[in-house]
Chain A
Amino acid sequence: MTTPVLSVKDLVVEFPTRHGPLTAISGVSFDLAPGEILGMVGESGAGKSLTGSAIIGLLDPPGRIASGEIWLQGERIDQLRGDDMRVLRGRRVGMVFQDPLTSLNPLYTIAEQLIETIRTHLEISVNEARKRAIGLLDDVGIPAASRRIDDYPHQFSGGMRQRVVIALALAAEPALVIADEPTTALDVSVQAQIIEVLKEQCTQRGASIMLITHDMGVIAETADRVAVMYAGRIAEIGPVKDIIQNAMHPYTSGLMGSIPSLTQEDDRLVQIPGAMPRLAAMPAGCAFHPRCERVFDKCTASRPQLIPMGTHEVSCWLYDDATAVAAKP
């Protein structure tokens, strides 16, 4: 068996407050195989972006990893500090964020930013770095790259800027790219192009992608596996096709039903009552139980762990052998 590129084990992220710590991510575990694209999907506040930030050590203080382990290519990285972490970021883990305008420095040309990034991580001359930078821009589909490389970020359109950010993320040939809502700020016609470039370039370089988004459509198009997050926990994880066509967790099936479809004739959307609980008022047991239609006594009492069910893993008491019988209608 190959070592996973990324392995997260029982990750807990806390924010200490005057009234005690708030647990924003609570016991998240998953593996990411080499070359695999894992989608992380969930609504705002589900903890998907925070999981990404925790992996690359960019948690905003006072947030901190309270327990758990993060392994990158067989090396433990959750305890790295300062310089060690900085070497890892960019070199071995590339990042693409939501808004390309804030992830590029407006005062430097694209050439300066790309060359700086390349030379920070690889020991090559400025000339070689520039050649490499132009090659990268070519790869991500920027027309007339050798001319446009000396432009400033404001001279590019939103879609072109996001291409530059992808080039930056890939500059040092990382093994993993974390893309946090890479297309949310873009129009649909541009979104499709960016997703294609990201997928194509990472696949060519053999990099794995952790794709964080709230858009199930993007995941369906791109990812191999998907993890559905709810209230800081993974509700369900499995191959994309299986999750979309055969969701097991009541939250996942509610989420899938609430998305208006382009092809299906539907009169009414499935509605999940209520909203996601706040961190300070997390319900006992399963975090989803107050909104769940199929709730029974065990759900309010204790928290379900991920249970393997065929190709999925699902954290729901309905699928626990010992309790499933009691829950049958």
Chain B
Amino acid sequence: MNAPMPEPLVEVSDLCREFDVSKPWLNRLIEREPKQFLRAVDNVHFNINKGETLALVGESGSGKSTIAKMLVGLLEPSQGTILFGGQRMRTDTSAEMQVLRKRFQMIFQSPYASLNPRWRVGEVIAEPMTVLAIVKDRREIQKRVDELLVLVGLSAADARKFPHEFSGGQRQRIAIARALSANPEFIVCDEPTSALDVSVQAQILNLMRDLQDELGLTYLFISHDLSVVRHMANRIGVLYLGALVEIADSKTLFSNPVHPYTKMLLDAVPDLAMTGRERKRVEGEIPNPINPPTGCTFHPRCPFANERCKREVPLLKAYGTGVASCHAVEEGRID
């Protein structure tokens, strides 16, 4: 395959985010406790190329949504940088950021919470255009709203309705139309279908793929559902307790997972095809992120853990087309 050199649109390096989860000042004083921090995202490093879909998967508390928020400038990283088209992402309202913000949008998990119930759908969809001052003429805005509604499979007449008049799937279509109204290059989708039923989910996933082909969009797709991720993504990153444990091509990750956590996650997915494939029993649960295990955070659940895993944090190393962070793989203890 002689595809053109991939051009990174988003470059994330050494990204960390800590949250202060300490008790109030007086309690700390009386109970003589130090401040407590939760490291939600820990040294995450990845690129997203133009026109591709990168998916991040992980269980609850793995830092997926925190990364999403930092990528669109809703949350300040504690450490590390995010470059968008070569420009550094910040959370302030400077002129450069205003220009940069026109280039990306976000779709949220619940279309019930992300649409203002007191606004008409037309106003909801027009908001990014007016706020970012992309289109100023009212008639032109109206025209664009109508086009967007048709694009996402609704009708132009729906612009006058309120969000409550729509079903969950239709609302998510409205949220997609809103994200598209500023003509972005990059859309961060945070669990866009997990609030929807499967048949509606299929409609939304198909729509998102069609739009990507049509408009040349780049997606960061966040989900806990591996089968959805496999369907949508070109590359997949697996998160565990805030750290990336493996990134690989979608096909490679499913056919040939490297990291023991990825293997465990794949084994845990119910097998709809009923092929009766051999599966390992999943052990244990995610530990408390306030007090994570030392060394490799996965070692208490890992069947291949040894002394080194308990001591030393593994680094991402290249294996085939992807990267993974595991001492056991590095030492050749597992293939």
Q: Chain A interface (Cβ within 8 Å of chain B)? A: 43-44, 157-160, 187-193, 195-196, 214-218, 220-221, 240-241, 244-245, 254-255, 257-264, 266, 268-273, 275
Instruction: Indicate if the CB atoms of B198 and A214 lie closer than 8 Å.
Output: yes
**Could you list 20 examples of A-B contacts with CB < 8 Å?**
A189-B59, A189-B264, A190-B282, A191-B270, A193-B282, A196-B281, A214-B198, A216-B198, A217-B227, A220-B271, A254-B199, A257-B202, A259-B198, A259-B272, A261-B227, A261-B231, A262-B266, A264-B273, A271-B199, A275-B200
Is B214 interfacial (CB-CB < 8 Å)? no
- Among candidates B60, B200, B271, residue contacting A187 with C-beta atoms closer than 8 Å: B60
Instruction: Indicate if the CB atoms of A192 and B268 lie closer than 8 Å.
Output: yes
Instruction: Indicate if the CB atoms of A189 and B206 lie closer than 8 Å.
Output: no
Given contacts A244-B274, A262-B227, A263-B273, contact A189 B202 (CB under 8 A): no
Instruction: Indicate if the CB atoms of A270 and B202 lie closer than 8 Å.
Output: yes
Instruction: Indicate if the CB atoms of A260 and B230 lie closer than 8 Å.
Output: yes
Instruction: Indicate if the CB atoms of B227 and A43 lie closer than 8 Å.
Output: no
Please indicate the chain B residues that have their CB under 8 angstroms from the CB of A257 in the complex. Answer: 202
Q: How far is the CB of B125 from chain A (nearest CB, A)?
A: 21
Closest to A44 in B: B197
Is B228 interfacial (CB-CB < 8 Å)? yes
Q: How far is the CB of B246 from chain A (nearest CB, A)?
A: 15
Q: How far is the CB of A74 from chain B (nearest CB, A)?
A: 34
Q: Is the interface of B mostly helix, strand, loop or mixed?
A: helix
Q: How far is the CB of A199 from chain B (nearest CB, A)?
A: 12
Q: How far is the CB of A44 from chain B (nearest CB, A)?
A: 6
Is B205 interfacial (CB-CB < 8 Å)? yes
- With contacts defined as CB atoms under 8 Å apart, how many contacts are there between chain A and chain B in the complex? 119
Q: Chain B interface (Cβ within 8 Å of chain A)? A: 59-60, 167, 169-170, 197-203, 205-206, 209, 224-228, 230-231, 254, 264-275, 281-282, 285-286
Given contacts A43-B198, A216-B198, A261-B227, contact A189 B282 (CB under 8 A): yes
Instruction: Indicate if the CB atoms of A216 and B272 lie closer than 8 Å.
Output: yes
Please indicate the chain B residues that have their CB under 8 angstroms from the CB of A159 in the complex. Answer: 285
- Given A43-B197, A187-B224, A244-B274, 7 additional A-B pairs, CB 8 A: A191-B268, A192-B282, A217-B227, A220-B274, A260-B231, A262-B269, A268-B209
Q: How far is the CB of B213 from chain A (nearest CB, A)?
A: 11
Instruction: Indicate if the CB atoms of B198 and A188 lie closer than 8 Å.
Output: no
Instruction: Indicate if the CB atoms of B273 and A261 lie closer than 8 Å.
Output: yes
Please indicate the chain B residues that have their CB under 8 angstroms from the CB of A160 in the complex. Answer: 285
- Among candidates B202, B270, B271, B274, residue contacting A258 with C-beta atoms closer than 8 Å: B202
How many angstroms from the CA of A188 to the CA of B194 in the assembled complex?
A: 13
How many angstroms from the CA of A317 to the CA of B227 in the assembled complex?
A: 33
Closest to B62 in A: A187
Please indicate the chain A residues that have their CB under 8 angstroms from the CB of B275 in the complex. Answer: 263
Please indicate the chain A residues that have their CB under 8 angstroms from the CB of B199 in the complex. Answer: 43, 254-255, 258, 271-272
How many angstroms from the CA of A260 to the CA of B273 in the assembled complex?
A: 11
How many angstroms from the CA of A275 to the CA of B154 in the assembled complex?
A: 13
Please indicate the chain A residues that have their CB under 8 angstroms from the CB of B209 in the complex. Answer: 268
Q: How far is the CB of B259 from chain A (nearest CB, A)?
A: 14
- Among candidates B226, B227, B274, B282, residue contacting A241 with C-beta atoms closer than 8 Å: B274
Instruction: Indicate if the CB atoms of B272 and A189 lie closer than 8 Å.
Output: no
How many angstroms from the CA of A255 to the CA of B198 in the assembled complex?
A: 7
